[in-house]
Structure 1
């Protein structure tokens, strides 16, 4: 389930021909600045090879769990990869009816500049259930979980194990090891 009206293309968000004239570093600055004061969206410039590895590793492990810690406890979001998009849905909603589980954070990896500039622009559209700092933390953890080999291949707590051998996934150990967002 992608955002209503389908995923937005990069050209719908920025003037792509003008952006292509800039250096890789300047593109990252522009993208970050564009999203800085928006409460309902986050933006990051990602090295193209990191985005590529993320998407490659998502093929055998397309879903994973991410806790969101708040005072007094936590709730779980389920990440689901769909091509160049990652949807974070409330786990309880997904359990009730996967087809109607509404994304709370929708990430789009725009690879329009990957070949020429070596950069992928990530945009996250945030639903009111999540704060911008929580969304930033989820994005950081998504990349760390899929790109850091020791986390991705962890025998009882990694996404590969979660997908391929869910009966051996150690939920409690995963929660204990999961990095909390600095307050």
Structure 2
């Protein structure tokens, strides 16, 4: 078994937190609607004022003319120096990402083709594309409103890109779920504990991603035959046209997880897999993803719980 998973599986499936947690403060029905982080200014925009001053000093009327004037000189320097270090570093990073993605694909759980439900299984995609983002969100929610066990929402395109990239690199992870009281089968566990849940990603189609969530106790008992209590499906068919991905999911009726708790796990999923690498909090969350994937002995369940509870 995965080394970090063995660590998460050690002992019972709950970890005592000391003071009881207020589950309702966590388990509110949170719609899976993600907002993108503001994009950084490009280098050209950031230094445009200085470039305009330089253009005036050189006797040209615009930054574009300044670039054209120095074009030959820049190309000559590039030829003499070879590939610039920024480009070289970027290519190295892309190669590393590609290798990680290939490994994730090889190790991701396989989904039978008969179980693949793409966006066309739920709506007429060509007609959906005729609507704007606001209408699509309303129609998507209406499509699933009759199912009391359904989860659905809209994911911003930039957020989905981060989530997808990190899911490829880290196809398995664990998420904590705060619980006020122990279950009958776990009566020896402290109140205010945390139950661990295993996340597994699968990539059955070019525009379809599956995320399956299972209690760690169920996975320990049945391994690859463990039945997920929550399945989320993400569709990127509208990503190019509308800048959004659609998400829908279902919570098994007979499972021990209710809809509010499934919403909470979906929120935690977003926190870790779409974490902002530009912030300290985001860096810590992404480091936990990597540590779990690599089976790092320093992977900390206590830190996992603390990061899940942050307000960002």
Q: The TM-score by the shorter chain falls in which range?
A: 0.7 to 0.9
TM-score normalised by structure 2 residue count: 0.53
Q: How many equivalent pairs are there?
A: 181
Aligned counterpart in structure 1 of residue 194 of structure 2, from 69, 74, 77: 74
Output one character per residue of 1:30-89: Cα deviation in whole Å (capped at 9) or x when no partner: 112333453211101111221121111122222111122222233211001112111101
What is residue 47 of structure 1 aligned with on the other side? 156
1:114 aligns with 2:234: no
Report which of the two structures shows the higher radius of gyration computed on alpha carbons. 2
Q: Which has the higher contact order (CA 8 A, sep 6+)?
A: 2
Task: Determine if contact 1:155/1:161 at 8 Å carries over to the other structure.
Answer: no
More strand by share: 1
SS of the aligned residue for 1:86 comes to strand
Distance 1:3 1:26, change over 3 A: farther
Partner-residue secondary structure (3-state), 1:92: helix
Q: Distance in 1 between matches of 2:214 and 2:285?
A: 25
1:13-162 residue pairs with structure 2 within 5 A? 13-72=122-181, 73-83=193-203, 84-128=209-253, 129=255, 130-148=257-275, 149=277, 150-151=280-281, 153-154=283-284, 158-162=288-292
Provide the TM-score with structure 1 as the length reference: 0.86
- Check whether the contact 1:154–1:161 (CA below 8 A) recurs between aligned residues: no
1:14/1:127 CA distance change after superposition, 3 Å: same
Q: CA 1:177–1:54 in structure 2 vs 1: closer, same or farther (change >3 Å)? A: closer
Cα RMSD over matched residues? 2.5
CA contact (8 A) 1:156 1:169 kept: no
User: How far apart are the structure 2 equivalents of 1:37 and 1:55?
Assistant: 29
Distance 1:69 1:94, change over 3 A: same
Change (3 A) 1:143 1:124: same
Q: Would the aligned equivalents of 2:272 and 2:285 in 1 still touch at CA under 8 Å?
A: no
Give 1:155 shift: 7.8
Distance 1:179 1:35, change over 3 A: farther
